[in-house]
Amino acid sequence: MNIELQQWDYALDTYNEILKKDPTNLAALYYRAFVNGKMRRYDLSASDYEKMLTFAPTNIEARLGLAYTYIKRGKPTDALDQYGLIIEQHPDSAVAYASRACLEEEMQRYDIALYDWEKAVELQPSNNDYIYSKASLLVKMNRKKEARECLEELVRRGVATGEIHSMLMQCK
């Protein structure tokens, strides 16, 4: 409940108490890591995610959280390593590909990011956000015809033209 109310200090106290009694409580480790991340205590957050991963090495949420802390701590290469592990362990995870695509795009590694967006769309074809993100990247790559095709697909799916108007204008 404290997390839902964004009462981070109270939530942290609760998880600290649980972990005093049971240091291997995975839920408490995960949520304490999450709360520390919300409080911008990324080193503490990473430490809890790492500890959790020693008990549950294939836990996708913990590994995504750890990757996020690496990004926030200015360690994008370490984050990419985590995304690679997630994809190795969960090759059918569209979220893993989409997360890595975001970071690759931020690093201006557009060809790799495009591959990941395409894979995310392939794995979860109904996700309009992935298609839009792919279109946005294609615009950055000056591949406007392909971007427009993605946007037209969104319109066919019922996305209002007004919602993507500015992106459509960039595809002219």
Give residue-wise pLDDT tens across range 10-55. 888 899 999 999 999 999 999 999 999 999 999 999 999 999 999 9
What is the reported pLDDT for 172? Answer: 82
Question: What total number of domains does the chain contain?
Answer: 1
Question: Which two structure tokens, joined as six digits, stand for 166?
Answer: 């500015």
CATH code assigned at 70: 1.25.40.10
- Say if residue 3's pLDDT is above 50: no
Domain membership of residue 49 as a residue range: 1-91
What is the reported pLDDT for 1? Answer: 41
Residue 71 lies in a domain: yes
Residue 1 lies in a domain: yes
pLDDT in tens, 50-90: 999 999 999 999 999 999 999 999 999 999 999 999 999 99
Mean residue pLDDT of the chain comes to: 94
